[in-house]
Amino acid sequence: MTRFDPSENHARTLDENDEIAHLRDEFYLTEGEIYLDGNSLGLLSRRAEKTLLAVLEDWKRFGIGGWTNGERPWFYLSERLGEMTAPLVGASPDEVVATGSTTVNIHQLASTFFRPEGKRTKILATELDFPTDIHALGSQLSLRNLDPSEHLAKIKSRDGRTISEDDAIAAMTDDVALILLPTVLYRSGQLLDIERLTKAAHERNILIGFDAAHSIGSVPHRFSEWGVDFAVWCSYKHLNGGPGAAAGLYVNRKHFRKPPGLAGWFGSEKGRQFDMAHEFASAASAGAFQIGTPNVMSLAPLLGSLEMFEEAGMEAVREKSLRLTGYLMELAGSELSSMGFFVGTPGEGERRGGHVALEHEEAARICEALKERGVVPDFRAPNVVRLAPVALYTSYLEVWEAVRILKGIMAGKAYEKFENTRGVTA
């Protein structure tokens, strides 16, 4: 093993050897700012801007005709984007569609796949889940007159950061009808073993889905091969689709015949939607799980941003992402030890997603001091400084510089002038 080199020169060497470094030039980066919050909101690329403006242009030019005319007819946009997203989740093109929001898609797929029967009346999640997942699952139970405090089981964490796969499997008892788990935990960045968990669920006759909001665009997936039943994700984080961009969902083709829990006319077979019949002619694809008219303007930027993933290839993106997070963790170990930080993200590459959690009791104030110095992190209560170096646009030198700035803040206690509280969004 070579010794870790914390020098600025080493960071520059890593950038010189970065084969996808050129993609950074496609993004709108702010001079003097180091953006490490791409796992909350990815940055705008010139290509995403271009496709958004092109769709506006089609509206200008075609009016209602834009649904079927032009280079990118809106009527087929959700399916087209599903095809473009499929390689990122390891699915066939017709198993994926761009639609809704993560929360709406959880409602859609939980209402489709949760079929309590006899003794099997529970939904299994984790106690470290993103809140909206829990709210949605809880209300799905309530709608069926099942009390969430009894029927929403949550896998416990042993350390408050991670979920052990063994514990998850032990919780797959014979009263569980449906499982929804995160692929990557939003706070610690732990990546779960999706293949193993899916296999274990199926051995116990339980359907299993994943919320891939924090892994899509940063970690490759093989949902079809692993037999995952369904998945959801949002497109404004690592996919760089813009604030409120249309989300995505995956449904394994073995479930194409299942009637959607929340049906709507955009789930119809394309050729029959405008028959305007009252009988629902469901599409024989993941498209069946769309509900109403798509938000065309929030789909449009994805046409451009997904192109960049096609070009780079998800494997190359993951490789650089792992190097970036690994580099950040090593720098934190070498430069910030003895300053009260604890790295909450698993060290093993196969157990970590695309961001790093630095825990510190002064985390909220440290984030304020970082922002004051041009580093954009985010704070996750109670004690996490979350940093996401993003493969498509973050350089190694920026990671190096961010750690240097952080070290300076800690050495001079520059955070003390801020209050240790959080703002509205972080």
Catalytic residues: 130, 211, 236-237, 386
Could you tell me how many residues of this chain bind ligand PLP (CB under 6 A)?
A: 12
Nearer to ligand PLP, 102 or 140 (CB): 102
Does position 107 interact with ligand PLP (CB under 6 A)? The reply is no
Instruction: Provide DSSP, 277-309.
Output: -SS--B-SSGGGG--SS--HHHHHHHHHHHHHH
Min separation Cβ 269 and ligand PLP, Å: 27
Does position 103 interact with ligand PLP (CB under 6 A)? The reply is yes
* Phi-psi region at 145: left, alpha or beta (left = phi > 0; alpha = psi -120 to 50): left
d(C-alpha 217, C-alpha 51), whole Å = 19
* Helix, strand and coil percent figures for the chain, each rounded to 5: 45, 15, 40
Interface residue with ligand PLP, options 85, 99, 102, 240 (CB under 6 A): 102
Does position 213 interact with ligand PLP (CB under 6 A)? The reply is yes
Does position 327 interact with ligand PLP (CB under 6 A)? The reply is no
Q: List Cβ neighbours of 420 (8 Å cut-off, separation of 6 or more).
A: 362, 364, 365
Q: List the structure tokens of 341.
A: 């930080």
122, containing H or E segment: strand 122-126
- Quick count: other Cβ atoms within 10 Å of Cβ 97? 32
Interface residue with ligand PLP, options 66, 82, 182, 248 (CB under 6 A): 182
Interface residue with ligand PLP, options 69, 92, 121, 132 (CB under 6 A): 132
CA 343 to mean position of chain CA atoms: 21
Q: Which range, of 18-26, 209-217, 365-373, 412-420, touches ligand PLP by CB under 6 A?
A: 209-217
Min separation Cβ 400 and ligand PLP, Å: 27
Does position 393 interact with ligand PLP (CB under 6 A)? The reply is no
235 in Cβ contact with 241 (< 8 Å): yes
Does position 38 interact with ligand PLP (CB under 6 A)? The reply is no
- Quick count: other Cβ atoms within 10 Å of Cβ 225? 11
d(C-alpha 184, C-alpha 182), whole Å = 5
Q: List Cβ neighbours of 97 (8 Å cut-off, separation of 6 or more).
A: 78, 79, 81, 82, 248, 249, 285, 286, 287, 289, 290
Nearer to ligand PLP, 213 or 314 (CB): 213
Does position 164 interact with ligand PLP (CB under 6 A)? The reply is no
Q: Which range, of 208-216, 269-277, 306-314, 395-403, touches ligand PLP by CB under 6 A?
A: 208-216
Q: List the structure tokens of 226.
A: 């692993």
Does position 242 interact with ligand PLP (CB under 6 A)? The reply is no
Nearer to ligand PLP, 231 or 410 (CB): 231
Q: List Cβ neighbours of 395 (8 Å cut-off, separation of 6 or more).
A: 11, 15, 18, 21, 24
Does position 133 interact with ligand PLP (CB under 6 A)? The reply is yes
Nearer to ligand PLP, 114 or 130 (CB): 130
Nearer to ligand PLP, 118 or 131 (CB): 131
Q: Which range, of 60-68, 75-83, 125-133, 293-301, touches ligand PLP by CB under 6 A?
A: 125-133
Q: Rounded to 5 degrees, what are φ and ψ at 250?
A: -125, 135
Interface residue with ligand PLP, options 51, 101, 111, 240 (CB under 6 A): 101
Does position 130 interact with ligand PLP (CB under 6 A)? The reply is yes
Nearer to ligand PLP, 134 or 207 (CB): 134
Interface residue with ligand PLP, options 75, 113, 114, 186 (CB under 6 A): 186
Q: List the structure tokens of 413.
A: 């206690």
Residue tagged 């732990």 (tokens): 190
d(C-alpha 339, C-alpha 415), whole Å = 13
Min separation Cβ 303 and ligand PLP, Å: 19
Nearer to ligand PLP, 66 or 346 (CB): 346
Min separation Cβ 237 and ligand PLP, Å: 6
d(C-alpha 222, C-alpha 272), whole Å = 32
Nearer to ligand PLP, 182 or 189 (CB): 182
Does position 234 interact with ligand PLP (CB under 6 A)? The reply is yes
Min separation Cβ 247 and ligand PLP, Å: 6
Q: Which range, of 161-169, 206-214, 349-357, 385-393, touches ligand PLP by CB under 6 A?
A: 206-214
392 in Cβ contact with 27 (< 8 Å): yes
* Phi-psi region at 239: left, alpha or beta (left = phi > 0; alpha = psi -120 to 50): alpha
The residues of the shown chain that bind ligand PLP, judged by CB under 6 A, are: 101-103, 130, 132-133, 182, 186, 211, 213-214, 234
